[in-house]
Structure 1
Amino acid sequence: MIRVLFVCLGNICRSPMAEAIFRDLIKKEGLEDQIIVDSAGLGSWHIGEPPHRGTREILKKHDIAYDGLVARQFNVNDLDEFDYIIAMDNANIAGINRLKRENPRANIAKLMDFVSDTTENEVPDPYYTGNFELVYELVSAGCHALLEHIKNEKGIT
């Protein structure tokens, strides 16, 4: 199994949105038996909470299921339990790197690193901006590109 973890600050906006979109893509491509996806936040403020109302609304608008998503905190063991740890911005990368042990199993990258046709290099936090539509567009593009990357890298057809 290939294990993918999306990480943002609180695990109620961007990373659960990415988890839901990526799950939807995996399901549509029939890859549920090959790829597992999860999400986590660097902070502990929202542990146990569902995704933010704005995240739920934008996912519902695009007919993407989000049931069962509950915020959890990123922990150092995630570095060895996941193949890919995908952060939303540079601050998330810095937070992950503060916890990083030498030679973690996971490949650590930003989601927008996989999108070639954009000027955006981070996914802004809609908790502060309120722009869930822009975040959805960026996360969706990133998830599509990430899935193609994983399929190519792992030889999945």
Structure 2
Amino acid sequence: MDWLTIALLLLFGLLFVAAEVIFIPGTTIVGLVGLGLLIAGIWLSYRDLGTPLGHYMLLGSALVVGLLVYVGLRPRNLNKMALTSVNNTSVHDIRRPDVPAGTVGRTLSALRPAGTALFAEARREVVTRGEFLAAGTPIRVLGIEQNRIVVEQA
């Protein structure tokens, strides 16, 4: 092999490693292809150009790859790809019920045994213990079991 082929192998190997570290981290395949090209180029430089030039190619490639990894793994570069926003929203938590036991309301739909009820201005899905209630029936909350509001006729 001539020196141009070895130089191209090393150049493309370094480009692939640079693309893996800086531009598209986490893909692994691009980095492995780059590493394979670097290993082939260094091995061919030892075989065809001799030991002293092989040492120079190995040292130069190691320095450039080290520099690429250093530049690619700096916090400023990692923050471009990291999720840095914080989600401060909340959801209605059943452990802090807004419809406590004993609250009185009325059914909006027939409860067979589940349906919709109105407590003050809040619409909630409720369930009875098995009885059927018509729409407009006054109800009272017995309690909250798991994630269901259990009611009975008031």
Larger Rg: 2
Q: TM-score range by the shorter chain?
A: under 0.3
Query: Higher relative CO (CA 8 A, sep ≥ 6), structure 1 or 2?
Result: 1
TM-score normalised over the length of structure 1: 0.24
